[in-house]
Amino acid sequence: MFTSGATESNNLALEGATETRRSRGDHVVTVQTEHHSVLDVCKRLETHGWRVTRLPVGAEGLVDLGQLREAVTSRTVLVSVMAANNEIGVLHQMADIATIAHEHGALLHSDIVQAAGKVAVDVQSDDIDLASFTAHKLYGPKGVGALFVRRRQPRIALIPLFHGGGQERGLRPGTLNVPGIVGFGAACAIAARELREEASRLTRLRDRLLASLQDRVDGLVVNGSLAHRLPGNLNVSFAHVDGEALLVSLTDVAVSSGAACTAAEPSHVLKALGRSTDVALASLRFGLGRWTTEAEVDAAATHVAAAVTRLRAMAPV
């Protein structure tokens, strides 16, 4: 079903799957490091009588499957776990998470925005019931996304967020954004074609970036698992640096310290990993993409290392 983006898809999935299953339970399970378009819907669900468990993550940024198994009960109607985290890039074990959710009759929703087009995602083999994605995170146009809704085994009923015409079987009425959808389709075709080669190129560049930062800067900590991670993501914390001064001084490198939507606050994801506010703010997220070159990676490492060294000398924290 086409939507305006993953924010809408996440809202539709969580609101819809809970509303239609009210008679079966009153509980939703999610994770502390989810995107705000999941967490904020969960907050709203709580004001409407739902209980929400927000699982913590371990030092690697991953959900503990034992803790998940303990959290899910016969009162749980929905489990929502993102496939890949947008800040630290860690990849959750979706097939195992699906097994646990389904053991208790709960549905599994996954925000697969960051994984789609970057690593192989298969809603069938991973047994995901509802999956949200958005075109612009895989080089498509902004303002168009989709929600995968399983139609068979089980057939999932949702309720619409808006009401009107019969488009998308009445679940998402309104005239479809045809140019956006065509662009989304074209972007998916290109991503599918290039995925394998691009993933290995980006992994090599990402590892090169990390190695060259480690060569130049002491006290660098990688946030989240390196082994279970998107190829194009690197997120590192620098001890003893004023984070705001660091970001401001990096005029030649496009980096952020958290999600693009909530800049300037310490990241809830890094806090969930156990980082202090100061360290969370002194963290940089590097996103490597289709047009990132080796020369750019080397230049980024040089600029960042120089900035960290200069700030540490000027104003030791």
Ligand X SMILES: *Cc1c(COP(=O)(O)O)cnc(C)c1O
Please list the active-site residues: 261
Q: Which is nearer to ligand X, 285 or 312 (CB)?
A: 285
Closest distance of CB 47 from ligand X, Å = 22
Closest distance of CB 136 from ligand X, Å = 6
Say if CB 162 and CB 173 are below 8 A apart.
Answer: yes
DSSP character string of 120-175: ---TTTTT-SEEEEEGGGGTS-TT-EEEEE--SSSPPP---SS-SS-GGGGTS-S-
Chain residues binding ligand X by CB under 6 A are: 5-7, 35, 37, 82, 86, 111, 113-114, 134, 136-137, 145
Say if CB 105 and CB 24 are below 8 A apart.
Answer: yes
Closest distance of CB 217 from ligand X, Å = 27
Burial class (CB in 10 A: 0-12, 13-18, 19+), 154: exposed
Residue 118 identity: K
| 302 CB-near residues (< 8 Å, 6+ apart) | 212, 216
Q: Which is nearer to ligand X, 118 or 136 (CB)?
A: 136
Cα–Cα distance between 147 and 40 in angstroms, integer? 18
Closest distance of CB 86 from ligand X, Å = 3
Q: Which is nearer to ligand X, 228 or 310 (CB)?
A: 228
Q: 134 forms bridges with which residues in the sheet?
A: 145
How many CA atoms are closer than 13 Å to the CA of 118, on its beta-carbon side? 30
Closest distance of CB 1 from ligand X, Å = 15
Q: Which is nearer to ligand X, 134 or 292 (CB)?
A: 134
Q: Which is nearer to ligand X, 6 or 119 (CB)?
A: 6
